[in-house]
């Protein structure tokens, strides 16, 4: 999408908002107010367009992922000069935004202005305060892999064109890796970050082997020679970087992975843009942990009744009795699990079942864009078991990828058994609900329809993750799998993982939790298998303020639905509610609630 079309998309959003809010026959004072709003919205549209244009130029890899393809041959500049240029840009746009009177904007643009202000502040804070560029090597490895993968995974342009863009980026990646070596201070890099990136580094070459090398025959001679040279240069650069990672970074990585209370609270506010504080999150999560375990015990009483060898099932159990009963009930679910090499195939079948259920129950409007289940690319493995990769908001009618990480070939049988107990057949159903339908895939399709490109680019991870968790309960409430009590039990266990994520994140980064404390929460209190818990312990060290997005997001979705149900009473319609929630383009959930209930935009 070109600059002029981008502006038109934003202006279309403004026009829609103005049309909805302008009375048919305004009085003189109202006419003046409407004029003020029109002028303010026009100024904000101009600022938004310049903000997006600047971001696309400064972050070509992000632009490609968004669906802006003018910069597909370029690469982000993470040198000191490049970072300063980005910082100066963010400060300039923020100063212009602060000079505007947000109160004169239409309601939709008040939301966008709040989102834009938060993102600009986050970018400045990241650069000046958190300084991840100096201690987090993941930002460089992730950028290098995404630079190529984002070009090759989707057919947004003819293959030769994308191959040439990939060639251009491969030529520039050696400089990016050199910038990483120049920027990173081993004394500040946490050991777990260094070791993780050292394992992932070669993954970029697997992207070349998978997506580029087999297709080089589609290039002309000159382009083919240039691509071959770029690949050879990349191989040498990756090998050089690997040697630095192994011999310099990993041995000398002395940084602390815990970011501490002050940085955590600041990052949490930027990352979530929620009204809930760290203390609020902890209080609600701990209360939910107790409540959900009680509900799981009730199901255990039901499914274990009269079974030979069942544990004691008193109406008022001791903590030990509750634990033993829930564990015994979960064993019934663990007994049904996919074969080692069938996880991806079973996820595909589960996605089809979930989609048909949503259609039969008429729960929400289904997407008409394709989704494909794939094996997770190697360079992205090691953090999450699965993820949904939606096309950029400016790329239309392209596939969403539902990526599932295969079981590593070097795992022992004990590790495999642990993994498949966690990802048993009912958990695979929930995973496909969460990542696919009616979760991330469906939400991404709906959100992409909102006309504000700014909101699409800055879509809220908390909204998306909260929605995906919300749909797990919603599907169980609607009777998925014939109201199977073991499915409800596994759904509640999956929700316990969301609760644990929120507690774990601040436990690790603020309260200084040890691995043993983390594993107790995950394995004992929330019934996760050892392999899942071990992976989450690694993830909690590698990230901060991301794990709570699931819990905070779903709490705000629950709160919003309850408030709308109370307002509408007998007129509440679940499908209409879902479609409306998804119609706003995935802003932080607090804004969805304010828009739906006609409350002031805070």
Whether the Cβ atoms of residue 181 and residue 194 lie closer than 8 Å to each other: no
- φ, ψ for residue 386, nearest 5 deg: -155, 160
Residues of the chain with pLDDT > 70, as a percent, come to: 94
pLDDT at residue 349, rounded to an integer: 94
pLDDT at residue 147, rounded to an integer: 97
pLDDT at residue 395, rounded to an integer: 84
pLDDT one-digit tens code per residue, 414-439: 888 888 888 899 999 999 999 999 99
How far is it, in rounded angstroms, from Cα 194 to Cα 186?
9
- Residue 400's DSSP bridge partners are 371
Residues of the chain with pLDDT > 90, as a percent, come to: 81
Least confident of 259-263, 373-377, 486-490: 373-377
Is a pLDDT exceeding 50 seen at residue 11? no
pLDDT at residue 69, rounded to an integer: 96
**Residue with token string 């050879």:** 232
How far is it, in rounded angstroms, from Cα 569 to Cα 563?
10
pLDDT at residue 17, rounded to an integer: 37
Per-residue pLDDT averaged across 207-221, rounded? 96
Handedness of CA 245, 247, 248, 253 (dihedral sign): positive
pLDDT at residue 132, rounded to an integer: 97
For residue 114, give the 3-state DSSP assignment.
helix
pLDDT one-digit tens code per residue, 96-150: 999 999 999 999 999 999 999 999 999 999 999 999 999 999 999 999 999 999 9
Whether the Cβ atoms of residue 509 and residue 258 lie closer than 8 Å to each other: yes
Report residue 201 as tokens. Answer: 């580094």
Nearest to 346 by CA among 424, 415, 441, 422: 424
Least confident of 151-165, 355-369, 387-401: 387-401
* Long-range residue pairs from 153-161, CB within 8 A, at least 24 positions apart, any chain: 153/211, 153/389, 153/401, 154/391, 154/395, 154/398, 154/399, 155/398, 156/67, 156/69, 156/391, 156/395, 156/398, 157/69, 157/72, 159/215, 159/218, 160/218, 160/219, 160/223
Is a pLDDT exceeding 80 seen at residue 377? no
Nearest to 69 by CA among 389, 370, 395: 395
Q: CA geometry: angle at 183 spanning 130 and 387, to 5°?
A: 60
- Computed over every residue of the chain, the mean pLDDT equals 92
Question: Please, which pLDDT band fits residue 28 given cuts at 50, 70 and 90?
Answer: low
pLDDT at residue 14, rounded to an integer: 31
Whether the Cβ atoms of residue 96 and residue 136 lie closer than 8 Å to each other: no
The pTM of the full predicted model, rounded to 2 decimals, is 0.88
How far is it, in rounded angstroms, from Cα 518 to Cα 503?
9
pLDDT at residue 381, rounded to an integer: 65
438: preceding bond cis by omega (within 30 degrees): yes
Chain centre distance of CA 457 = 13
pLDDT at residue 275, rounded to an integer: 85
């Amino acid at each position: 999408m070109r600059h002029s079309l981008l502006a038109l998309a934003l202006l279309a959003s403004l026009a829609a908002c103005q049309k909805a809010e302008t009375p048919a026959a305004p009085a003189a004072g109202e006419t003046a107010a409407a004029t003020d709003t029109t002028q303010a919205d026009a100024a904000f549209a101009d600022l938004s367009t310049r903000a997006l244009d600047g971001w696309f130029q400064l972050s070509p890899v992000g632009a490609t992922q968004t669906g802006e393809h003018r910069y597909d041959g370029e690469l982000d500049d993470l040198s000191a000069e490049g970072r300063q240029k980005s910082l100066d840009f963010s400060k300039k746009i923020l100063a212009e935004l602060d000079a505007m009177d947000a109160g004169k904007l239409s309601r939709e643009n008040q939301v966008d202005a709040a989102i834009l202000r938060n993102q600009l502040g986050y970018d400045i804070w990241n650069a000046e305060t958190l300084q991840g560029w100096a201690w987090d090597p993941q930002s460089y490895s992730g950028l290098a892999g995404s630079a190529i993968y984002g070009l090759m995974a989707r057919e947004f342009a003819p293959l030769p064109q994308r191959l040439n863009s990939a060639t251009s980026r491969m030529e520039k990646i050696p400089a990016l890796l050199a910038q990483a070596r120049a920027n990173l201070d081993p004394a500040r890099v946490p050991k777990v970050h260094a070791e993780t990136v050292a394992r992932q580094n070669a993954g970029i070459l697997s992207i070349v082997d998978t997506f580029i090398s087999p297709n080089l025959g589609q290039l002309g001679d000159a382009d083919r020679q240039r691509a071959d040279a770029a690949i050879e240069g990349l191989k040498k650069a990756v090998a050089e970087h690997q040697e630095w990672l192994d011999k310099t970074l990993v041995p000398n990585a002395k940084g602390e992975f815990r970011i501490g209370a002050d940085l955590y609270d600041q990052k949490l506010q930027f990352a979530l843009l929620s009204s809930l504080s760290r203390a609020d999150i902890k209080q609600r999560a701990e209360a939910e942990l107790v409540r959900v375990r009680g509900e799981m015990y009730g199901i255990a009483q039901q499914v274990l009744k009269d079974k030979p060898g069942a544990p004691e099932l008193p109406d008022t159990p001791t903590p030990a009795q509750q634990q033993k009963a829930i564990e015994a009930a979960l064993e019934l679910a663990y007994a049904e699990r996919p074969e080692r090499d069938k996880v991806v195939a079973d996820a595909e079948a589960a996605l089809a079942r979930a989609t048909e259920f949503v259609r039969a129950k008429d729960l929400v409007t289904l997407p008409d864009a394709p989704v494909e289940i794939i094996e997770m690319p190697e360079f992205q493995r090691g953090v999450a078991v699965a993820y949904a990769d939606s096309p950029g908001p400016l790329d239309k009618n392209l596939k969403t990828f539902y990526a599932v990480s295969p079981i590593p070939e070097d795992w022992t049988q004990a590790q495999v058994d642990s993994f498949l107990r966690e990802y048993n057949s009912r958990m695979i159903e929930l995973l496909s609900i969460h990542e696919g339908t009616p979760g991330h895939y469906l939400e991404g399709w709906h959100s992409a329809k909102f006309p504000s490109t700014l909101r699409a680019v800055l879509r809220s991870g908390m909204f998306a993750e909260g929605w995906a968790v919300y749909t797990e309960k919603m599907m169980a409430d609607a009777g998925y799998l014939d109201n199977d009590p073991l499915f409800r039990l596994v759904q509640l266990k999956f929700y316990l993982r969301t609760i644990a994520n929120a507690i774990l994140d601040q436990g690790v980064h603020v309260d200084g939790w040890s691995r043993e404390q983390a594993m107790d929460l995950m394995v004992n209190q929330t019934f996760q298998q050892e392999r899942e818990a071990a992976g989450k312990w690694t993830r909690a060290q590698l990230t901060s303020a991301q794990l709570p997005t699931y819990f905070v997001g779903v709490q705000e979705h629950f709160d919003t639905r309850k408030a709308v149900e109370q307002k509408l009473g007998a007129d509440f319609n679940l499908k209409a509610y879902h479609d409306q929630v998804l119609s706003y383009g995935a802003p932080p959930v607090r804004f969805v609630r304010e828009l739906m209930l006609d409350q002031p935009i805070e």
